[in-house]
Amino acid sequence: MALLQHVCSIPLVRAVRSRSLSNISISIPSSRAPIVSIPSPSSARVPPVGSRVLLGMSEKELQQLAVDFGQQCYRGKQLHHLLYKTKAKEIEDFSHLPKAFRYDLKEAGWIVGRSPVYRVVTAADGTVKILIKLEDNRLIETVGIPVEDDKGSQRLTACVSSQVGCPLRCSFCATGQGGYSRNLKRHEIIEQVLIIEELFKYRVTNVVFMGMGEPMLNLKAVLEAHRCLNKDVQIGQRMITISTVGVPNTIKKLASHKLQSTLAVSLHAPNQKLRETIVPSAKSYPLNAIMKDCKDYFLETGRRVSFEYALLAGVNDGKEHAVELAELLHGWGLGHHVNLIPFNPIKDSEYRRPYKKAVLAFAAALESRKVTASIRQTRGLDASAACGQLRNEFQKSPLSALDESESESKSQSIVSVG
């Protein structure tokens, strides 16, 4: 109760606020009289211009924001509902709020933080790739993957991006080839899930940070988005996976948060020499160092690490590679689960997709050595929405007016796939 009273209390200055009192200066008639300034309520306790984004804020933060604007704290609860349930895109859509409150929010530079959809591409299997146009006219891609299990239950996975492009340039991945611009902000990550829910007209059940970019290079925003997706959008922590190819010191940082989400580490090779040819960044983060960090992660969180392994025909898909991989995992006490990903073709790549027989043989070699393995079902291949295929020409260079006009017919609305 004490906490509620603290959060919902309205300071005296704010309680008697009016727009005409903004930035008032009261002068005391004296040669040495000081100037007493009463701050504008709309500027009290708000972040600097450029970061006044509502999406990503918790209910408690929104309640405090409402109080800072001289409103009752229940207005913050209404804001929370409008952002995460109604999924309002503009402050003008906040019809439940007083017109004066909406006006003040806009005047103070607050925005919802939702971006327009530039294009939607639907694959034959129902997978949907969505291109989102950010405020700087760059594009990111996010993927919605619907799956119906044997019992008829619907699962909808959102494969979200964490960066505009990717700086790591893994040799088999299209994203790195398209260049890198910047990290995504927390609201730019969160909105991907909301857009997928709007498109499919039902809730996202799983989130995987496996889209464009390396999540560990944007860990602060990823963790903020994770909190919001869990607490505000209400997706269970165990339904969220954070993937990484390996960035020094970041697995330790993630472990300190003791999340119940899955950490998926992309190995792609059973030894350091081969890994360096596939993953250039491996030179700065040796395989043994990654494995030690994975073991420490398990000891600190109690959550086993999942390992990703992209199978490249004639490169890393032989039985001898499977045997070596099993020995590596058992040597570190981490021989739990490997997710095998047959290579998905990308333009101008020297790699080939392995035959099904080779994939099954690799999985069998792991299983015979007590390492469980699953083979990822390829989804969205014909829409270039499969693992490793996300790339667009505007992730490095912003859209121009010409690009906008050419795609106008495709960007005016979200098409229904439900």
Q: Say how many CA atoms lie within 13 Å of 117 toward its Cβ.
A: 25
Could you please report the per-residue DSSP string of 22-39? TTEEEE-SSTTPPEEEE-
Nearest 5°: phi and psi at 275? -65, -35
Q: How far is CA 287 from CA 8, 262, 267, 274, in A?
A: 51, 20, 8, 10
Return the closest-CA partner of residue 274 out of 206, 198, 328, 211.
Answer: 328
Return the closest-CA partner of residue 111 out of 39, 185, 9.
Answer: 185
Place of tokens 């960090």: 293
Nearest 5°: phi and psi at 179? 95, 170
Q: Is 141 a catalytic residue?
A: yes
- Token representation of residue 41: 């309520």
Scored b (16 or more CB within 10 A) or e, 331-351 reads: ebebbebbbbbbbbebeebeb
The sign of the CA dihedral 17, 80, 226, 90 is: negative
Catalytic residue among 73, 166, 294, 387: 387
Catalytic residue among 59, 141, 188, 191: 141
Scored b (16 or more CB within 10 A) or e, 142-173 reads: bbbbbbeeeeeeeebbbbbbbbbbbebbbbbb
Q: Is 350 a catalytic residue?
A: no
Which is it for strands 262-266 and 240-244: parallel, antiparallel or unpaired? parallel
Residue 403 exposed, middle or buried by CB count within 10 Å (0-12, 13-18, 19+): middle
102 within 8 A of 92, measured Cβ to Cβ: yes
CB count in 10 Å sphere of residue 22: 15
Active-site annotation, residues: 141, 387
